[in-house]
Chains A and B, each alone.
Chain A
Amino acid sequence: MVSLARKNLLHDRLRFVITVAGVAFAVTLVLVQVGLFLGLLGKATVTIENSSADIWVTSRETPNVDFAHSFPETTVLRVRGVAGVERADNAIVQFMNIMLPSGAEEGCLVYGLEDFSSWNLPWDVESGDPTELRRGDFILMDRSAERRFGPFAVGEYREILGHRFKIIGATRQAASFTTAPVVFMDFRRAQGLQQTVHNKTSYILVKVAPGHDKAQVAARIRAVTPYNDVYTREEWAARSRNYWVVSTGLGMNMGITVFLGILVGIVVVAQTLYTSAVEHVKEFGTVKAIGGSNWDIYKILGEQALIAAVVGYTIGAAMSFGMRPLLAQLHLNVLVSPQFAATVFAGTVLMCLGAAMLSFKRVAGIDPALVFRA
């Protein structure tokens, strides 16, 4: 089969380059912007997703994991009595002020548990032992803190709410969406630091016994904790994520970026394909004169759109991939899952085919009789 579509693309090389550049631009914009957004959003749920808690009990209307309110710590006793609960523990998540060596005061997000190892928190430990935390005024600090707090070394001391703590180790990956660095300390010490959490807790982490349905256990917990909200891990992650997507307008912002990317792509592709169709009117007339149908010509435009989509996507994806180290230096993480990449590819193909269809009416109207005209 001779592909007039492909040969014509290569013949009008400049136009093809412009088309592909338009597609690549749109693809890069969407991949990088949405990838950055997803990378950022990952921080909103990273502790939920890494801890082994199947169910989170929160105070009423807690919007996301970073913004916890407190409730009586004895609630946990009721939760422990629910059928299907293997284990339930209190957990404090609380913003506290930390004094830096420079004298500056900064905020950090303290995670306080009695038995960290039972909850897989922290999950990426560079040095130090979380089980040691309960033995003294000790903390583990996440490496990401260095960006805000400056470098720190194990063995140094930091003052949190006027209390001196020794850094006994460092963790990685623990982050909050608010960018406040995460610090791990013993539950009782965290409770003692701040009046608002005396005898209180921020969350109850629940592990469901094997063979029990998470949703059913959550419903049972709900029945015994009328003043709390109860979420499965997935529900809680979704709620935390949605809070940032909606309340910050980030979601809308993303929507606009994706829309603009698609718009630019469609306009460029539609425009170049349309001018190409107009310039090749005589050729299409000839195709019709020798017995070709409108469908034969639609296939030419469709194939060209498809080629532009595939080449443009490949270049766009390569550019997005190439930008990752650069963005990583700016501490920006571009998160592109295979599903998301596939979705963008499908979207690119649809976008290009849709743009090609805008020329269909024009070529359908071509009169083969024009082949006899000069």
Chain B
Amino acid sequence: MNAMLACCDRDAERERDATSLREVLAVEDVRKTFVEGSQKVEVLRGVSLAVDQGEVVALEGPSGSGKTTLLSIMGCILTPSAGRIRVAGREVSGDESALRDVRKRSIGFVFQQYNLFPALTAQENVEYALNVKGVRGRGAAAEAARVLELVGLGDRKRFLPRDLSGGQKQRVAIARALAGAPEVLLADEPTANLDTAVGTQILELFQKLAKDENKGLVIVTHDPKVRNVADRVVGIRDGRLSNPQEH
């Protein structure tokens, strides 16, 4: 009986999500100016972008165009000089502990350099991230195992990063980003260190996870293959979005 109720609740929730909570991430007229000595560098000059649940957005642009800066702001690692950010339907305020809370609850990062903890096994890397996010004990171990299965590393849980290939490392990083059920995944050049075939696999994995797990996903990349998996490709040039194309 309880199980049935819980199941129906979840269905109801999903329905509500599907209608009213489509948008998981939005930036509005975001500007960022870095001050270096006497020089001001205007890196973002009014960027607006919204990402929906289950949507894959590719962000393309030349080096130095502000992609990483925008991703950092969307991920609440950096505060904008002006503009508004909404994550999971909530306006994000600028104070550090609020930003940290959003990162903890709603964001999963994947980096070009993987940024795994070298002393921890694949399982421990994911589990530790869950611990930091406040999930402890058996629950954390089970969730880590689940996401590692999802990325196809069920048989590599006890491996240290140094014993994994680049693609496998990135899979661990993706599993770590997925852990704790954030609404948003943000990836900065996730395939830049991988060869073409492996890069394709990683992008396809991203796409599948975004759809299956209903995440909003932003991938920053130069990789042309991203066009095969993205719902939308957004260009960025000199701190402004350009030719936003629908896929």
Contacts and interface: CB of A to CB of B under 8 A. Distances in A.
Interface of A: 1-2, 4, 7-8, 10-11, 282-283, 285-293, 296, 368-369, 371-372, 374
A282 B77 contact: no
Interface string B192-223: 00000000000000000000000000000000
Contact of A290 (B104, B119, B136, B140): B104
Contact of A291 (B68, B101, B112, B136): B101
Contacts of A8: 117, 119
Contacts of B132: 287, 290-292, 296
B111 A10 contact: no
A289 B77 contact: yes
A374 B124 CA distance: 24
A16 to B, nearest CB: 11
B113 interface: yes
B137 interface: yes
Contacts of A368: 77
Interface in B100-137: 100-101, 103-105, 107, 109, 111-113, 115, 117-120, 124, 127-129, 131-133, 136-137
B172 to A, nearest CB: 13
A374 B113 contact: yes
A1 B104 contact: no
B88 interface: no
A291 B133 contact: yes
A7 B121 CA distance: 10
Contact of B117 (A4, A288, A293, A372): A4
Nearest to B111: A371
B47 interface: no
B103 A291 contact: yes
Majority secondary structure, A binding face: helix
A372 B74 CA distance: 13
B119 A10 contact: yes
B78 interface: yes
B100 A293 contact: yes
Interface of B: 68, 71-72, 75, 77-78, 97, 100-101, 103-105, 107, 109, 111-113, 115, 117-120, 124, 127-129, 131-133, 136-137, 140, 176, 188
A2 B128 contact: yes
Nearest to B134: A291
A289 B71 CA distance: 12
B127 A371 contact: no
B141 to A, nearest CB: 9
A178 B120 CA distance: 60
Nearest to B125: A2
A371 B115 contact: yes
A4 B118 CA distance: 10
Given A369-B77, A372-B72, A11 B118 contact: yes
Given A2-B128, A4-B128, A11 B188 contact: no
A283 to B, nearest CB: 6
A296 B132 CA distance: 8
Contacts of A285: 115
Contacts of A371: 77, 109, 111, 113, 115
30 contacts: A1-B137, A7-B117, A7-B124, A283-B117, A283-B118, A285-B115, A286-B115, A286-B117, A288-B100, A289-B75, A289-B77, A289-B103, A290-B104, A290-B176, A291-B100, A291-B101, A291-B105, A291-B107, A291-B132, A291-B133, A292-B100, A293-B97, A293-B100, A296-B132, A369-B72, A369-B77, A371-B77, A371-B111, A371-B115, A372-B71
Nearest to B117: A283
Contacts of B131: 1-2
Contact of B127 (A2, A283, A289): A2
What are the 7 closest A-B residue pairs judged by CB atoms, nearest first?
A: A291-B104, A11-B119, A7-B119, A2-B128, A291-B103, A292-B132, A2-B124
A292 B117 CA distance: 14
Nearest to B108: A290
Nearest to B129: A290
Given A4-B120, A371-B115, 10 more contacts: A2-B127, A2-B128, A287-B132, A288-B100, A291-B100, A291-B103, A291-B107, A292-B132, A371-B109, A372-B188
For A10, A286, A374, which residue has the most chain B Cβ atoms within 10 angstroms?
Answer: A286
A369 B78 contact: yes
A371 B76 CA distance: 13
A97 to B, nearest CB: 70
A36 B188 CA distance: 62
Contacts of B104: 290-291
Nearest to B96: A293
* Residue from B71, B119, B188 whose CB has the most chain A CB atoms within 10 Å: B119
Interface centre among B72, B132, B137 (most CB of A within 10 A): B132
Contacts of B118: 11, 283
Given A11-B119, A289-B103, A369-B77, A374 B128 contact: no
Contacts of A283: 115, 117-118
Contacts of A282: 115
Contact of B68 (A289, A292, A293, A372): A372
Nearest to A296: B132
